Amino acid sequence: MKRVVLPMLLAIGLASCLSTALAAKPVQVEVLYMDHGPLQASIRQIKEVFSEYGNEIAVSWYDFESKEGEAFMAKKGIRQHVPLAIWIEGKPKWTVGGKEVFFMGFPTGSGPPSFQGKWTMDDLRGALDQATGTK
């Protein structure tokens, strides 16, 4: 009996270790944002979308006006006034529903018209679904 139990326990332990080691790394999401009043509603919506993905994504937030934000902008080559930008796996552009979506500026329909991008929360979900392999 002992000869059967020990190998079986070792096999189960090895399988458990392998499944943990092979688990998918979370998708990296980086958000550059301005911590100003007009953007707060959009930030809340974005956080709600992110929460739908749990541990499938790892989000890093960079305040435009902080030292970390300045270093992040320099790394990404951002030199202009940008209220909001999102990179998913290092890419700010994704093809969602047959259209190219650039996650820059306020979502469509929110914030000042001159700073609105051409993307929606559904576009963000579509890009995250692709990146995570969800749905």
Tokens of 117: 């991008």
Asked if residue 12 belongs to a domain, the reply is no
What is the chain's Cα-based Rg? 20
Residue 132: count of CB within 10 angstroms of its CB: 17
CATH code for the domain of 97: 3.40.30.10
Give the pLDDT confidence score for residue 64 in this predicted structure.
92
User: Tokens 């688990």 label which residue?
Assistant: 23
- Whether the CA torsion 72, 78, 81, 85 is positive or negative: it is negative
Asked if residue 84 belongs to a domain, the reply is yes
The stretch 59-66 carries a mean pLDDT of 95
Asked if residue 65 belongs to a domain, the reply is yes
pTM of the model: 0.79
Which range marks the domain in which residue 126 is found?
Answer: 25-132
Asked if residue 35 belongs to a domain, the reply is yes
Question: Going by DSSP bridges, is the β-strand pair 84-88/27-33 parallel, antiparallel, or unpaired?
Answer: antiparallel
pLDDT digits (tens, 9 = 90+) for 4-31: 555 554 555 545 544 444 457 999 999 9
Task: Determine the Cα–Cα distance for residues 13 and 15; give it in Å rounded to an integer.
Answer: 5
User: By percentage, how much of the chain surpasses pLDDT 70?
Assistant: 77
Which one is predicted more confidently, 89 or 106? 89
Number of domains in the chain: 1
Asked if residue 4 belongs to a domain, the reply is no
Give the pLDDT confidence score for residue 36 in this predicted structure.
85
Tokens of 86: 């999102």
Tokens of 58: 């790892």
pLDDT digits (tens, 9 = 90+) for 109-135: 676 666 667 899 999 999 999 999 986
Task: Determine the Cα–Cα distance for residues 10 and 57; give it in Å rounded to an integer.
Answer: 32
